[in-house]
Amino acid sequence: MTGPAAGAWSTRLRAAVSSRGRLCVGIDPHPALLESWGLPASADGLARFTDICVEAFGDEAAVVKPQVAFFEAYGAAGYSILERAVAGLREAGALVLADAKRGDIGSTMAAYAQAWLDPHSPLSSDAVTISPYLGFGALGPAVDLAAAGGRGVFVLARTSNPEGGLFQGAGTGGGVSVAQAVVDAATARNAQDADTVGLVVGATRDHGLDLSNFSGPILAPGVGAQGATAADLPQIFQGSRKLLLPNVSRGILQVGPSVSALRAEVARLREEIEVVLA
């Protein structure tokens, strides 16, 4: 698949969620997980781990989120494995969200956008995570390319790590928090290209954000290993459930390496999430 499927990102995401549920499954080939699966912490181990994940999740989950850093750690071999995984997941019908957290300015931001969102790139994904902390406006090349190609971006707003609160919760000259300023900027940008910009908002705490005007997708990491549960989601994300994508990575991967066990855990968690968010 060399280009985006027919329809805009919002249309494709809504269709995927409708048919496969809201669960976003992470592929995090952490060395400890490789070891627990009986695999070496090497490129060969990474390849085997990734192939199992693609087989288990590609035709089961709506959105699959490879954590780019764990592939990057193996250099060129890791990127080659990631390229193959992206292609395999998309061929199986999953939407691929590359968790790369890129953020820069000018031509450098444009190059990052081309790497992850250009249909001619071997890393071409359906969406990518990006960081707004060089200014939301600096994300323009990525947002523009995503909108033009029927793809999406997920902008870090209120992350699940405890260290993020001091900065993201700080006040701005406009009287709102840094995180709320990101939400407001994303809302304004989506008025031009519906739902192209998604947000990353952690599920591990009450985030204190006003999301009432935001209609785009929300990636909610923190369910499972970081302490949040599916039962927490309705309270934390009141009024923001339709395109809420709770992300579970280690909580699913820990049942591997059996493909059938991984698929069963995805099905179990998906049903649990759909029930509480109904």
Q: Give the C-alpha separation, 240 to 183, whole Å.
A: 13
From the candidates 101, 205, 241, 250, give the one annotated as an active-site residue.
Answer: 101
Name the residue type at position 219.
L
Helix (H, G, I), strand (E, B) or coil at 136: helix
User: Annotated catalytic, 101?
Assistant: yes
List the beta bridge partners of residue 155.
130, 199
Tokens of 196: 């192209």
**Alpha-carbon separation of residue 42 from 48, 78, 150 (angstroms):** 10, 9, 35
What string of DSSP letters covers 57-116?
HTTT-SEEEEBHHHHHTTHHHHHHHHHHHHHHHHHTT-EEEEEEEE---HHHHHHHHHHH
> Which residues form the catalytic set?
101
